């Protein structure tokens, strides 16, 4: 009886100790689980913080790279624009130089042509004077050709003169005739008055053949009016 009671007491004690042990183990397991959870959370937080920090650093680096790329792009653009500007200025300078050279060549050619013309003008006048004298010597009603100033001497290019020469039959303007007359070496007011008489339309018309008289008088009138302008200084 006593042994049975003792055995029950021992068994009950064993069960209580086992329950306590299980609770202790469970509590320890829960503590360890909680600790592991905290550590895992801390590790996760640390990892998240590290990732966030890394992303922040990456963003900063990206911005630095972008700013560097922008600076490099702007530098390349500035260099390109500077190069283009330099090339444009160089081209402009070359064009200006070429134009200046062309202008100088044109002026030189013009001066040379003017000098050559001036040198030939006495001969042109001499030839024209001979034609004029032949016309003056023609018997009445026989002249069929007008002694117009030579074309080689008539190169005035003023707009008004060019238009007038196209509209008239003489083919010469006041400036052409003046240059030709000055080559005579006798050019003055009295000489002009004397030379003008030969080109009075009525006087010149008497030498023209009847079928050509109208044309001849028209051309004589044009030359007579040019003499008038030169005498009056118009």
User: Do 7 and 105 lie in a common domain?
Assistant: yes
d(CA 132, CA 149): 9
Residue 7: the pLDDT is: 74
d(CA 62, CA 176): 82
Q: What is the per-residue pLDDT across 50-104, written as a single tens digit (0 to 9) for each?
A: 888 888 888 989 999 999 998 999 999 999 999 999 999 999 999 999 999 999 9
* Conformational region of residue 145, where left means phi above 0, alpha means psi within -120 to 50, and beta covers everything else: beta
Query: What's the chain's average pLDDT?
Result: 89
Q: What is the per-residue pLDDT across 19-62, written as a single tens digit (0 to 9) for each?
A: 888 788 888 888 888 888 888 888 888 888 888 888 888 898 99
Give the count of domains, the chain.
2
Assess if residue 42 is contained within a domain: yes
Assess if residue 128 is contained within a domain: no
C-beta of residue 146 within 8 angstroms of C-beta of residue 201: no
Residue 2: the pLDDT is: 54
Q: What is the per-residue pLDDT across 121-136, written as a single tens digit (0 to 9) for each?
A: 999 999 999 999 999 9
pTM of the model: 0.58
Assess if residue 149 is contained within a domain: yes
d(CA 216, CA 211): 10
Query: Which range marks the domain in which residue 75 is found?
Result: 1-114
Assess if residue 120 is contained within a domain: no
User: Do 82 and 157 lie in a common domain?
Assistant: no
User: Do 13 and 109 lie in a common domain?
Assistant: yes
Assess if residue 131 is contained within a domain: no
Q: Tell which residue, 109, 184, 124, has the closest CA to residue 154.
A: 124
Assess if residue 64 is contained within a domain: yes
Which token pair is 119?
A: 């040198």
Which token pair is 203?
A: 């006087």
Assess if residue 79 is contained within a domain: yes
């Amino acid at each position: 009886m006593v042994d049975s009671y003792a055995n029950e007491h021992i068994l009950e004690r064993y069960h209580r100790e086992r329950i306590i042990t299980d609770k202790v183990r469970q509590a320890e397991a829960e503590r360890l689980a909680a600790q592991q959870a905290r550590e895992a959370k801390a590790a996760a937080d640390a990892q998240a913080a590290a990732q966030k920090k890394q992303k922040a650093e990456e963003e900063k680096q990206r911005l630095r790279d972008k700013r560097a790329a922008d600076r490099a792009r702007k530098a390349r653009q500035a260099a390109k624009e500077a190069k283009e500007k330099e090339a444009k200025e160089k081209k402009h300078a070359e064009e200006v130089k070429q134009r200046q050279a062309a202008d100088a060549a044109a002026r030189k050619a013009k001066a040379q042509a003017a000098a050559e013309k001036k040198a030939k003008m006495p001969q042109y006048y001499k030839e024209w004077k001979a034609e004029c004298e032949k016309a003056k010597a023609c018997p009445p009603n026989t002249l069929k050709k007008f002694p117009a100033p030579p074309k080689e001497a008539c190169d005035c290019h003023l707009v008004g003169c060019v238009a007038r020469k196209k509209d008239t039959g003489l083919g010469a303007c006041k400036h052409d005739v003046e240059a030709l007359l000055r080559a005579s070496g006798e050019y003055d007011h009295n000489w002009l008055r004397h030379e003008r008489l030969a080109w009075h339309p009525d006087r010149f018309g008497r030498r023209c053949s009847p079928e050509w008289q109208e044309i001849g008088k028209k051309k004589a009138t044009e030359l007579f009016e040019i003499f008038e302008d030169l005498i009056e200084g118009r």
